[in-house]
């Protein structure tokens, strides 16, 4: 379970006025690809949670994006000599495709179970599906990505994934860990193979984020999976799962490696050949006006050199949501151009990150504003 086991919130809390100093982007990193297109955020009226807004053109937009998007990741196929990487465009005709990688924009997504938490969503994923419909209505368009947290032995039903995809969202499956040693030994192969076959049969693009925040090794829920093998066992287990998915032909699954921002997690990296997206989880725990520069930028600089699309797998804020989201909107396109997906944790763990609109705290309104920015509109607008 991805509970936030280390709540690092401090007692010195800068005011929202202090935080606005970072809205001007700092210089971009010189290790990235094309410079993002300029973007001007729209300025919609402030919608409230639960308001329904029609989006009649969404289906057409989705179809257009699916027809024109180019997937840039490297896929693999099984051969008599094992698995070897091949360009994704060279996959056999009819092979399922993974999620498209935006060239000059980003997905915007969320985990949507306000004030509740992952355990309730895992026990009944329909709760989140219902909340997503309300969220989409208030935004005026679907979320690009939706988190689906699932226990190891009870993977999500493909009918649920299809319901999210039919509404316009690409699912991000957050698959909890089990003992790495048991994965390496092969005793979990039946579960892994069944899941790979299920997602292959599902056929649509999907992200898989297995055992995220693995570098928080002091937490019981993490150390229980790592066991005595530590980072070495994690890497071997990841590669074992990945190899089974490739052998079963689940080419529509993009593997997202996602440590916590509290350390680089270098020892846990499975290798470029086994990772499609590099992510991180990072929360505005201290209301630090320099968080993006002091925490996110060093991590980004380190991992951007791998040339992978990058994802902020989980993020959130408490008392200064609007200011934090405004900073992300302004800074990410300029200084973090390889970040092509951002997901907000609209729920509760040790802190309640749920987006709210209250006097002086227009967090949900600011998230909607972010969603109206064309840069964060992929795949409905942008490229």
The rounded distance, in Å, linking the Cα atoms of 90 and 94 is 11
Q: What is the pTM of this model?
A: 0.79
Q: Give, to the nearest 10 degrees, the angle between helix 230-247 and helix 189-202.
A: 50
What pLDDT shows up at residue 126?
73
What CATH number matches the domain at 105-376, 3.40.50.2300, 3.20.20.80, 3.40.1180.10, 3.90.400.10?
3.20.20.80
The rounded distance, in Å, linking the Cα atoms of 238 and 242 is 6
Task: Judge contact between 353 and 112, C-beta under 8 A.
Answer: no
Q: In the chain, what is the straight-line distance between the N-terminal and C-terminal CA atoms, in Å?
A: 34
Range list of H helices, the chain: 16-19, 58-68, 118-123, 126-139, 158-166, 180-185, 189-202, 220-226, 230-247, 291, 297-304, 321-335, 363-372
What pLDDT shows up at residue 138?
87
Closest C-alpha among 138, 141, 146, 151 to residue 162: 146
Q: Look-up: residue for tokens 């309104």?
A: 365
What pLDDT shows up at residue 121?
56
Give the chain's residues under pLDDT 70. 1-90, 117-124
What pLDDT shows up at residue 54?
30
DSSP track, 104-153 = S--EEEEEE-TTT-HHHHHH-THHHHHHHHHHHHHHTS--SEEEEEE-TT
What would the pLDDT profile of 48-84 be if each residue is shown by its tens digit?
444 333 333 333 333 333 333 333 333 332 322 333 3
What pLDDT shows up at residue 323?
92
What pLDDT shows up at residue 113?
82
Distance from the Cα of residue 328 to its chain's centroid? 15
What pLDDT shows up at residue 119?
62
Classify residue 5 by its DSSP letter: -
Task: Judge contact between 376 and 106, C-beta under 8 A.
Answer: yes
Every domain of the chain and the residues it spans? 105-376
The token pair at 119 is 């355990």
Closest C-alpha among 117, 49, 99 to residue 316: 117
Task: Judge contact between 46 and 365, C-beta under 8 A.
Answer: yes
What would the pLDDT profile of 215-264 be if each residue is shown by its tens digit?
999 999 899 999 999 999 999 999 999 999 999 999 999 999 999 999 99
The rounded distance, in Å, linking the Cα atoms of 349 and 218 is 18
C-alpha Rg value of the chain to the nearest Å? 20
The total of other beta-carbon atoms located within 10 Å of residue 84's CB is 11
What pLDDT shows up at residue 286?
78
Contacts of residue 286, Cβ cutoff 8 Å, sequence gap at least 6: 8, 9, 10, 12, 13
């Amino acid at each position: 379970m991805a509970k936030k086991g280390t709540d690092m919130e401090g007692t010195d809390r800068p005011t929202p006025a202090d935080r606005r100093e970072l809205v001007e982007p700092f210089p971009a990193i010189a290790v990235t690809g094309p410079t993002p297109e300029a973007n001007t955020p729209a300025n919609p009226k402030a919608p409230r949670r639960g308001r329904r807004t029609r989006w009649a053109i969404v289906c057409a937009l989705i179809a257009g994006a699916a027809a024109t998007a180019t997937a840039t990741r490297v896929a693999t196929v099984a051969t008599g000599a094992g698995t070897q990487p091949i360009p994704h465009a060279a996959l056999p005709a009819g092979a399922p495709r993974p999620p498209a990688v935006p060239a000059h924009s980003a997905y915007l997504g969320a985990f949507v179970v306000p004030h509740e938490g992952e355990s309730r969503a895992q026990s009944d994923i329909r709760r989140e599906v219902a909340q997503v419909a309300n969220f989409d209505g208030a935004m005026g368009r679907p979320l690009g990505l939706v988190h689906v947290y699932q226990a190891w032995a009870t993977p999500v039903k493909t009918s649920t994934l299809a319901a999210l995809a039919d509404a316009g969202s690409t699912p991000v499956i957050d698959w909890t860990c089990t003992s790495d040693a048991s994965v390496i030994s092969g005793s979990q192969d039946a579960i892994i193979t069944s899941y790979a076959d299920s997602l292959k049969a599902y056929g649509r693009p999907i992200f898989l984020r297995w055992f995220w925040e693995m570098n928080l090794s002091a937490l019981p829920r993490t150390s229980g999976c790592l066991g005595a093998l530590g980072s070495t066992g994690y890497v071997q287990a990841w590669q074992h799962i990945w190899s089974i998915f490739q052998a079963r032909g689940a080419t529509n699954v993009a593997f997202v490696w996602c440590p916590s921002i509290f350390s680089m997690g270098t020892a846990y990296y499975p290798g470029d050949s086994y990772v499609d997206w590099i992510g991180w989880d990072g929360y505005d725990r201290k209301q630090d006006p320099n968080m993006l520069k002091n925490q996110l930028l060093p991590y980004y600089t380190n991992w951007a050199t791998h040339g992978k699309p990058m994802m902020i797998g989980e993020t959130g804020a408490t008392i200064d949501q609007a200011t934090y989201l405004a900073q992300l909107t302004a800074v990410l396109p300029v200084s973090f151009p390889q970040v092509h997906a951002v997901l907000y944790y609209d729920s509760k763990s040790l802190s309640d990150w749920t987006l709210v609109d209250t006097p002086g705290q227009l967090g949900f309104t600011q998230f909607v504003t972010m969603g109206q920015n064309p840069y964060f509109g992929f795949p409905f607008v942008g490229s």
